[in-house]
Structure formats: structure tokens, C-alpha cells
Amino acid sequence: MIRFGKTRYLHLRAAEQDRSLTARELRFVQRYRGRNPECEIEDSLEEQGLDALRGLAVAEEADVPSFDRRVLRRWRVQSVKQTARYWTPALCGAAVAAIALLAMLQILSAAQGPKPLSTPGTEAQRSDRPTFPDLGGGIDSVRP
Amino acid sequence: MAEATLKSTHLTEAVHEELHWVHRCRTGDETALGVMIAKHRARLIRTATNILRDRHEAEDVAQESFLKAFRELPKLRDDRAFSGYLYRICVRLCMDRLRSRRAEPQEFDRIEPSAGPAVENKLVVEKLLGMLAPDLRTTLVLREIEQLSYEEVAEIMHVPLGTVRSRLHTARERFRKLWIDAMKETS
């Protein structure tokens, strides 16, 4: 079934939540509801839901005696954490650890350094024989 | 007329007092911090409880809001904006908490029939709120439960007025559908 004026009705129903409708608008809404009884049922259900939602409001005064102290304590911790004095021991410890690590690595690398080339037969030796090939007759025999 | 003048004078005094304490807070004065906490605590916890529906989590969020606001106080240009700034931080932290919550399947058949219709409705509404997106839920709570104006909601959520209107419309529509479905399911 096509409901004429449904868009206007929905618009007015939404507007009803924030402002009071004019007499003309109210007449239209009532007429529409009269023509469509299922809308009226749904609307009353919705109103019931919104009432239940509004009823969830926490009305009582939030009285938390230790709240202020806890916030201030956390504030002090936070403030101290922002100072260099708080971080100095940690930074010194980290620096000492880094130096110790570097020293250890240095010692280890020195102990496991490259071995000298002392395998027999692999050393370079001076030869007694001429290293150039003998071309037969020597350089003088070539001259005229 | 005289009443209006008196009210205006009281308002001006309150603003001056607030400015004085905020100024002292900037220097890290703990007395001033204590005064500001005592002044805004109740409202902050109430709003966070309304949004999160969990008192302990709300207190936690309120504490974080104060700490964050005090930490970022040097960045605040106008001392008069402190309360709004604090409130905005609180709402944002609540939304972060809602986003980080795991989505759980909702059931309506666990409600004790002996609990009474008011308690039953309350439980259903709390579950329905949990099914809405954090943005929609927060807008709906600020408007319907906290009874804030559209302008106030827009300022707190840091969104344009049109966005508040559209979010509120969507939130109401979704809530309406969920509520009608839940009522049909329980009946």
C-alpha cells in the first residue's frame, strides 16, 4: 500500500524530537496516524524506547573521595617522568652497558684475528735463475 | 532586570575565578590542580558513565582526561576554553574506548523476567547502545541523556552542526529499529 505523505510524516516525526510542531503540522501528523494505525503503534514503541534511553541518565552526584588524590599522584609521577633526573640512572646504566659490550667485542675480535700465512711452500721466494725466457743467442746476436 | 544583572555578575565572577585557577594550573600549582579536579570531576564522571555505561571505566577515563588536559595546558591558547577542552578530551577518550571494545553478539533472552519492566528496558537499552557505532552512540547520549544542545554537541565532538544533525537522525532511526525488533523478540 502506498502511503501518501510518508516522507513529510517521517520528517515531522524527527523534528518533533527537537521542537514543538505547529498546529498545522500536528494536524497532519494526527491525520496520518489515523489513516495508518500501524504507524501509531510503532511510534508509541519508539517513544517508549527513547524514554527508556533518557531514563538511563546517571543523575546522582559522583562522589569519589580518593579520585582527587589518585589524579594528583598520577600527575606527580607524570611530572617526575618528564625530568632529566628521573632518566639519568637509566641512561648511565645504558651507557655503561654499551661501553662494556663494545669492549667485549673488541677483545673477542682480537682473540679471533686473522692467522699468519705460515703454510710450507706457500711463501714467496727469491729465485736464482733468470726469470725472463731464453730467446736463444741473446740480444747481441740479433744486431748486424 | 536586577536579577539578570546579578546573574551576569555571578557569571563574570565565576569566569574570573576559573581563569585565575587555570593560570595557576599552568605553573603546576597542585592546589589549583586540586580545585580544578574538584570542580569538574562530577560532570566528567557522569558524562563518561553515560557514554560508556561502566562506572569504573568512566572514572579511569576521567582521570586520564585530567592528566591529558593538564599536560597539554601550555598548548591551550585561551584559558577560558579550559572546561570545554577538558570535556572534549573526555568524550574523545570515551569514543576511543568504545572503538577498542570488542563487538559481542547481543542476546535479549537472558533477562530475568522477575527483574521488572523498568530494569528489563534498561538492560535492553544498554545492549542496543552497544550495537550502535561509537560516533552515533556518543551523539545520541550527549543529546538525549546529557540533554545538550546541538551546538554544544558539535563543539564537544568537534564536528559541524550539520554532521550532528545527520548523526542524530541516523542514530535515532537505528535505535528505533533495534528497539522495535527487541520488543518484538522479547514479547
Question: In chain B, what are the domains?
Answer: 8-104 (1.10.1740.10), 114-187 (1.10.10.10)
Q: In terms of domains, do A45 and A79 share one?
A: no
Q: What whole-number distance in Å separates Cα of residue A21 and Cα of residue A74?
A: 51
Establish if A113 belongs to a structural domain: no
Q: What is the CA radius of gyration of chain B?
A: 20
Q: Indicate the residue of B34, B128, B176 with minimum beta-carbon distance to A72.
A: B34
Smallest Cα distance from B94 to chain A, Å? 16
Determine, for residues A75 and B70 on separate chains, whether the beta-carbon distance falls below 8 Å. Answer: yes
HSE value, Cβ hemisphere, 13 Å, CA-based, for B104:
11
Determine, for residues B59 and A64 on separate chains, whether the beta-carbon distance falls below 8 Å. Answer: yes
Residues A60-102 pLDDT 10s: 665 677 888 899 999 888 888 878 888 899 999 999 999 999 9
Smallest Cα distance from B34 to chain A, Å? 7
Q: What whole-number distance in Å separates Cα of residue B83 and Cα of residue B69?
A: 9
Q: In terms of domains, do A18 and A46 share one?
A: yes
Determine, for residues A71 and B172 on separate chains, whether the beta-carbon distance falls below 8 Å. Answer: no
Looking at residues A101-118, what average pLDDT do you find? 81
Q: What whole-number distance in Å separates Cα of residue B26 and Cα of residue A122?
A: 79
pLDDT at A130 over 60: yes
Return the DSSP state at B187: -
A56 SS3 class:
coil
Return the DSSP state at A17: T
Q: How far apart are the two ends of chain B, measured CA to CA in Å? A: 56
> Could you give the C-alpha distances from A62 to A45, A67, B38, B46, B146, in angstroms and in order?
32, 10, 11, 7, 15
Residue indicated by cell numbers 577515563: B61
Establish if A127 belongs to a structural domain: no
Residue B116: the pLDDT is 60
Establish if A115 belongs to a structural domain: no
Q: What whole-number distance in Å separates Cα of residue B55 and Cα of residue B49?
A: 5
Determine, for residues A56 and B180 on separate chains, whether the beta-carbon distance falls below 8 Å. Answer: no
pLDDT (tens, 9 = 90+) of chain B, 187 residues, equals 566 666 666 667 777 888 888 888 888 888 889 999 998 999 899 999 999 988 889 999 999 999 999 988 888 888 778 888 999 999 999 999 998 876 555 555 554 544 566 677 888 888 899 899 999 999 999 998 888 999 999 999 989 999 999 999 899 889 988 988 888 777 6
Chosen for mutation from A10, A75, A81, A82 (greatest number of chain B CBs closer than 10 Å) is A75
Inform me whether the C-beta atom of residue B59 falls under 8 Å from chain A C-beta atoms.
yes
The total number of residues written for chain A in this structure: 144
A63 SS3 class:
coil
Residue B56's Cβ-count burial label (10 Å; 0-12, 13-18, 19+) is exposed
Establish if A100 belongs to a structural domain: yes
Comparing CA positions, the residue from B161, B159, B149 lying closest to residue B92 is B159
Determine, for residues A49 and B175 on separate chains, whether the beta-carbon distance falls below 8 Å. Answer: yes
Residues A8-37 pLDDT 10s: 888 888 788 778 888 898 898 888 888 888
Establish if A10 belongs to a structural domain: yes
Determine, for residues B41 and A67 on separate chains, whether the beta-carbon distance falls below 8 Å. Answer: yes
* H or E, element range at B106: none
Establish if A13 belongs to a structural domain: yes
Q: In terms of domains, do A12 and A48 share one?
A: yes
Q: Is the Cβ–Cβ distance between B52 and B94 less than 8 Å? A: yes
Smallest Cα distance from B2 to chain A, Å? 31
B34 SS3 class:
helix
Establish if A40 belongs to a structural domain: yes
Number of structural domains in chain A = 2
Establish if A46 belongs to a structural domain: yes
Determine the structural domain holding residue A10 and report its residue range: 6-54
CB contact set of B142 (below 8 Å; sequence gap of 6+): B47, B51, B91, B148, B152, B153, B156, B157
Q: Which residues of A touch B70 (CB under 8 A)?
A: 75
pLDDT category at A1 given cuts 50, 70, 90 is very low
Q: What number of helices (H) and strands (E) belong to chain A?
A: 5, 0
CA closest to A71 among chain B residues = B63
Comparing CA positions, the residue from B40, B53, B36, B122 lying closest to residue B94 is B53
* H or E, element range at B86: helix B82-100
What's the grid cell of residue A90?
A: 637509566
Smallest Cα distance from A31 to chain B, Å? 22
Determine, for residues B37 and A74 on separate chains, whether the beta-carbon distance falls below 8 Å. Answer: no
pLDDT at A103 over 50: yes
Residues 99-118 on B with a CB inside 8 Å of A are 118
Q: Indicate the residue of A67, A75, A78 with minimum beta-carbon distance to B59.
A: A67
Q: What whole-number distance in Å separates Cα of residue A8 and Cα of residue B9?
A: 46
- CB-CB neighbours of A35 under 10 Å: 13
